[in-house]
């Protein structure tokens, strides 16, 4: 009995963890109008429904654009800062590191609220662009931390060798540093894409007419449970999971000896 106990616990835990996901995905194939038991189907009508819905598709495209663009900006800024701090002696570098990491400890709602107040004061309009700015704020600390942590002595030696052989700073970065950091950069990028893709509150506060997918889902939620929402939710989940699996397979697998 005591031998079985861990496996029973594991089974119960996985049941708890996957119960909502299973309900979400299963009833996205519901043939009827309500995503509750009994299950009728399977039917793809709700997927056909959302794929032909212009608002949903526009929100999906917006979400992808904001996620990729904000992740790219966060990675570039994060990489430059990590390179500057890891390779050069700077006054107050501990303080700079603290400042760059600080947004991690503040909840998204507060980051969004602060930006909303400033944007309203300055008279700039709310748009996907302002939501993207917010997403860079929350992803920059992660990108910086991930890239900074993987800038080891091994890379530094290779960079020094390149410099001794006459490479200028630009060549050192593009031909030595960046290729050696590729796994960390990919990790930072995909993590940022996933977080931005899933993020709701900042997008909700900082967009107006064009919205991201979580915001679109939010406004559809007002009309209650619907297999349409299940279909969109399953799609969102599938895309997040794909990003995580790409990260796992192509980045972390390679790092293992």
Site for another protein in 70-129 (CB under 8 A): 76-78, 80-81, 83-85, 87-90, 96, 99-100, 102-103, 105-111, 113-118, 121
State yes or no: residue 36 binds another protein (CB under 8 A). Answer: yes
Q: Least distance in Å: CB of 186 to another protein?
A: 16
Could you say which residues in the range 139-168 bind another protein, by CB under 8 A?
140, 144
The tokens of 67 are what?
């996620």
DSSP string, 195-254: HHHH--HHHHHH-SSS--HHHHHHHHHTT---HHHHHHHHHHHHHHHHHHHHIIIIIIHH
* Nearest of 110, 163, 156 to residue 137 by alpha carbon: 110
CA distance 257 to 240: 27
Q: Interacting stretch for another protein, rule CB under 8 A, among 7-15, 40-48, 53-61, 180-188?
A: 7-15
Q: Which is nearer to another protein, 37 or 179 (CB)?
A: 37
Binding mask 46-75 for another protein (x = CB under 8 A): ------------------------------
* Nearest of 100, 143, 103, 124 to residue 206 by alpha carbon: 124
Residue with tokens 């995580």: 244
Q: Least distance in Å: CB of 185 to another protein?
A: 15
Q: Interacting stretch for another protein, rule CB under 8 A, among 42-50, 53-61, 132-140, 181-189?
A: 132-140
Give yes or no for a contact between 111 and 137, defined as CB atoms under 8 angstroms apart.
yes
Could you say which residues in the range 195-224 bind another protein, by CB under 8 A?
197-201, 205, 214, 217-218, 221
* Largest Cα span, the chain: 72
Binding mask 166-185 for another protein (x = CB under 8 A): ---x----------------
């Amino acid at each position: 009995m005591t031998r079985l106990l861990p496996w029973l616990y594991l089974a119960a835990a996985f049941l708890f963890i996957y119960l909502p996901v299973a309900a979400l995905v299963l009833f996205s194939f519901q043939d009827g109008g309500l995503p509750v038991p009994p299950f009728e189907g399977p039917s793809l009508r709700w997927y056909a429904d959302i794929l032909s819905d212009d608002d949903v598709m526009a929100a999906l495209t917006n979400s992808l654009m904001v996620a990729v663009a904000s992740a790219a900006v966060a990675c570039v800024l994060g990489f430059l800062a990590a390179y500057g701090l890891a390779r050069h002696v700077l006054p107050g570098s501990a303080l700079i590191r603290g400042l760059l990491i600080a947004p991690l400890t503040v909840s998204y709602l507060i980051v969004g609220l602060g930006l909303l107040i400033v944007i309203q004061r300055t008279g700039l309009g709310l748009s996907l662009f302002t939501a993207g700015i917010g997403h860079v704020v929350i992803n920059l600390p992660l990108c910086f931390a991930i890239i900074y942590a993987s800038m080891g002595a091994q890379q530094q030696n290779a960079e020094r060798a390149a410099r001794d052989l006459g490479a200028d700073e630009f060549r050192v970065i593009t031909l030595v540093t960046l290729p050696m950091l590729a796994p960390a950069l990919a990790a930072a990028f995909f993590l940022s894409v996933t977080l931005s893709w899933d993020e709701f509150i900042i997008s909700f506060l900082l967009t107006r007419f064009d919205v991201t997918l979580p915001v679109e889902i939010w406004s559809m939620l007002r009309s209650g449970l619907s297999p349409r929402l299940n279909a969109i939710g399953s799609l969102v989940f599938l895309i997040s999971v794909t990003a995580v699996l790409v990260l796992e397979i192509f980045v972390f697998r390679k790092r293992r000896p």
